[in-house]
Amino acid sequence: MERPCPSPRRGASAWVAERVGGRCVSLGLMSIVATVVILLIAALHVYILVLEMFLWTGPRARAAFGTSPDFASQTKALAANQGLYNGFLAAGLVWGVVASDPVGFQAKVFFVVCVAVAGVYGAVTASRKILFVQTVPALIGLALVLASR
């Protein structure tokens, strides 16, 4: 039977110590906050997937993206393709959260950087609003992931 993990030192940043893959892992406050932010970014991209793949011609998606009914109808297939890519970003972020390190860390960094780059591109080519909806949260997530390492 495995022994329980030792309690973190007094004043240490670790909140939780648990066994993962046979070894003790400490989850500090920064790591927990980073994980929550990464999951929120993933949830945002699942929401964008739903808007672009399934609700593109409806009033909610048209209001979110500022499109007319005619334009939405003409671009439905393109929007669905774009939504699928947002789903890939969400899946990659979730993979980064559930995978053990070093793969989990690397996946989180890679996919959150992809989100930031996509946000910058969208801000330049489509709407500045994307910078604040997508890029800023991604950069915050990246900073938290790197700080939690």
Q: Give the C-alpha separation, 103 to 106, whole Å.
A: 5
Give me the mean pLDDT over the 74-95 stretch: 98
Q: What is the pLDDT of residues 23-53, one digit of tens each?
A: 655 568 889 999 999 999 999 999 999 999 9
CA 20, CA 140: separation in Å to the nearest integer?
27
Q: What is the mean pLDDT of residues 57-80?
A: 96
pTM of the entire structure?
A: 0.82
pLDDT band at 78 (very low <50, low <70, confident <90, very high): very high
Judge whether 146 and 109 are in contact, CB under 8 Å: yes
Helix axes 103-125, 29-53, angle to 10 degrees: 50
Average pLDDT, the chain: 89
* 3 vs 14, residue with greater confidence: 3
How many CB atoms sit inside 10 A of residue 74's CB?
12
How far is it, in rounded angstroms, from Cα 52 to Cα 134?
A: 15
CA distance 36 to 20: 19
- Reported confidence tier of residue 12, pLDDT bands at 50, 70, 90: very low
Contact assessment for residue 40 and residue 134, using Cβ atoms and an 8 Å cutoff = no
> Taking the mean position of all CA atoms in its chain, how far away is CA 19?
25
